Amino acid sequence: MQSPKIEGATPVVTATIDPERWVEEHSDCLYRCALLRVRRPEIAEDLVQETFLAAVRTSGSFRGKSSERTWLCGILKNKICDHFRKIGRETSFTDLEFLNDELSHKFVPQGFWNHEHGPLEWKPEAEVVMHRAEFWETLRNCLSKLPERVADVFMLREMEEMETEQICRDLNISPSNLWVMLHRARMALRECLEMNWFKDPRQEGG
């Protein structure tokens, strides 16, 4: 996984190591970052601590070219990858069975969309929506409704932009199961955002 590139981040001039200050300045940010990926608070907390400990040991590699936070985020990302590899052993029945009817009620028996239930136009535009703080809360709620593994693969693919081959390897998932999980995750999230954010204008009218 690539470490994030943050343009214009202030370089730290003096690369003195003060780990206890890191806890004050960066731990919440790292924690959110970890929580977003692993979702369990206790695991996220462990990962942040491991990140600090690893940072102390490798502080020689920190040249102050990037900001301290970017450097720490990079270490955290590696820790998160290790974590996924470690737990990447089994995909549960719940994950594979999630949305297994693939919203069949939205289609007529011949397989075409039922026009009553076709996807609505999303308004306002994505660009506009992303400036609304509440939107991100809605997205978070929708993500939390996905089974754990399904959310993992979706986020690895769409947020981390990881190649599907690598996801299959790291999480020990067959390609066909990955396609299915990604498709259902997208379908479910699309639906959830539509219901909870892009409100149905037909219902407002009625």
Minimum CB distance to other proteins, residue 42 (Å): 10
Helix axes 133-144, 148-158, angle to 10 degrees: 130
Complex with other proteins: residue 96 or 139, whichever CB lies closer: 139
Minimum CB distance to other proteins, residue 171 (Å): 14
User: Which residues are bridge partners to 113 per DSSP?
Assistant: 107
Minimum CB distance to other proteins, residue 102 (Å): 7
Sites of contact with other proteins (CB under 8 A): 4, 19-20, 23-24, 27-29, 31-33, 35-36, 41, 45, 48-49, 52-53, 56, 102, 104, 107-116, 118-119, 121-122, 126, 130, 133-137, 139-140, 154-155, 157-159, 161, 164, 179, 182-183, 186-187, 189-190, 193
Is the bond preceding 4 in cis, omega lying within 30 degrees of 0? Answer: no
Complex with other proteins: residue 28 or 90, whichever CB lies closer: 28
Q: Are 103 and 184 in contact (CB under 8 A)?
A: no
Complex with other proteins: residue 64 or 201, whichever CB lies closer: 201
**Taking the chain, what is the end-to-end CA distance rounded to the nearest angstrom?**
49
Complex with other proteins: residue 89 or 202, whichever CB lies closer: 202
Minimum CB distance to other proteins, residue 31 (Å): 5
Give which of 17, 85, 81 is closest to 53, Cα–Cα. 17
Q: Is the dihedral of CA 130, 136, 138, 143 positive or negative?
A: positive
User: Which residues are bridge partners to 107 per DSSP?
Assistant: 113
Complex with other proteins: residue 171 or 189, whichever CB lies closer: 189
Minimum CB distance to other proteins, residue 161 (Å): 7
Q: Is the dihedral of CA 111, 115, 116, 121 positive or negative?
A: positive
